[in-house]
Amino acid sequence: MIVIMQQGASEEQINHAVERIEQLGLTPHVSRGQFRSIIGAIGEKLPAHQQILEALDGVERVVPIMKPFKLASREFHAENSVVTVGAVAIGGPEVAVIAGPCAVENAQMLDRIGRAVARRGAVMLRGGAFKPRTSPYDFQGLGEEGLKMLRETGDRLGLPVVSEVLAASDVQLVGRYVDMFQIGTRNMQNFQLLKEVGEYGKPVLLKRGFAATVREYLMSAEYILSRGNRDVVLCERGIKTFENEVRFTLDVSAVPVIKEYSHLPIIVDPSHAAGRRQWVAALALSGIAAGADGIIVEVHDRPEEALCDGPQALTPEAFEELVEHVRKVAAALGRGLAARNPA
């Protein structure tokens, strides 16, 4: 349930409500809005709890949260959340473009691609150092060496960096190099990993599992939020259906549904959905038109030589064209395109 404080409630009244919630065996989560504060009271509730909390000074009313995802729900936080990664805001009026290679292959390649996407509108750099591959014989990434290259390139270009973490035991290592953790589709329900990144405190990009419902997806986000980390960005990257012409089916409908149910920002990943570069732009634009707060796309200047997912990687020239189309679609919706801080 949520405890809605009166407009102008004092800090003392808010703190007293938090203490009383803890005394009832519940976990408080304070959300401060422009006009009033609300406190989420998470845990096993008894009917008497609502009456006790409603009697406190400064409390306007107590409302049960009906959704199973409490902290991710709009009932808990009515306004859109904005997640800041470095100097990049995701979830505000501007659409964010994240780009880079599927995997970090070497320092020279990463520098070339990083410079190419930075010049063409990317505000964050992506690159995998630990790669979860279907086949154990495929390229698995460079590990910590790849993370070092990603960090150095991001710093040189003035771009925050995001990379995937595969296991709870790797969170401390990956956290030393990235500005944002990525949780991939195969780990959406790796609950121990979700808890670890929730406790670490850095922003998290959480991809939807390819067989997960929207509600299951938001419950995974809840694991991170419940550990105190409010900086969660969702990513729709396509789900498995009976269709086999594309790699996955981009569920564009998930964008407005999640926007209605949750305050968390959401971006789309058209690269993994399409599986082929010629369809990436159309899927990216459909996501922006549906209300997504950004896109994350794969770019490679020599896709035929890529060690991972070359067929779905845009060339820098195709990426530049896509960014211009994104700018126009965003403008039609009254939004702008996020710009990077030059290095």
* Domain range list for the chain: 2-63, 83-337
Q: Distance from first CA to last CA of the chain, Å, rounded?
A: 46
* Residue 278: CB atoms within 10 Å: 11
Q: Contact 38/7 with Cβ under 8 angstroms? A: no
Mean pLDDT of the chain: 94
Q: DSSP string of 134-155?
A: SSTTS----THHHHHHHHHHHH
pLDDT above 80 (res 108): yes
- 38-79, pLDDT tens digit by residue? 898 888 877 789 999 999 999 999 988 878 899 999 988 889
d(CA 127, CA 141): 10
What's the pTM value of the predicted model, to 2 decimals?
0.89
Give me the mean pLDDT over the 225-232 stretch. 94
pLDDT number for residue 343: 47
Superfamily holding 83-337: Aldolase class I (3.20.20.70)
Band of the pLDDT at 136, cuts 50, 70, 90?
confident
Please identify which residue in the block is written with the tokens 């067989």.
Answer: 211
In terms of DSSP H, where are the helices of the chain? 11-23, 47-54, 107-119, 144-157, 171-175, 191-200, 214-226, 254-261, 270-274, 277-289, 316-332
Q: Contact 299/100 with Cβ under 8 angstroms? A: yes
Give me the mean pLDDT over the 258-284 stretch. 97
- CATH number of 2-63: 3.30.70.1140, 3.40.50.2300, 3.20.20.70, 3.20.20.10? 3.30.70.1140
d(CA 166, CA 184): 8
- By CB atoms closer than 10 A (0-12, 13-18, 19+), residue 195 is middle
Please indicate whether the domains covering 2-63 and 83-337 agree at the CATH topology level: no
For the CA atoms of 180, 239, 82, 30, the dihedral, rounded to the nearest 10 degrees, stands at -90
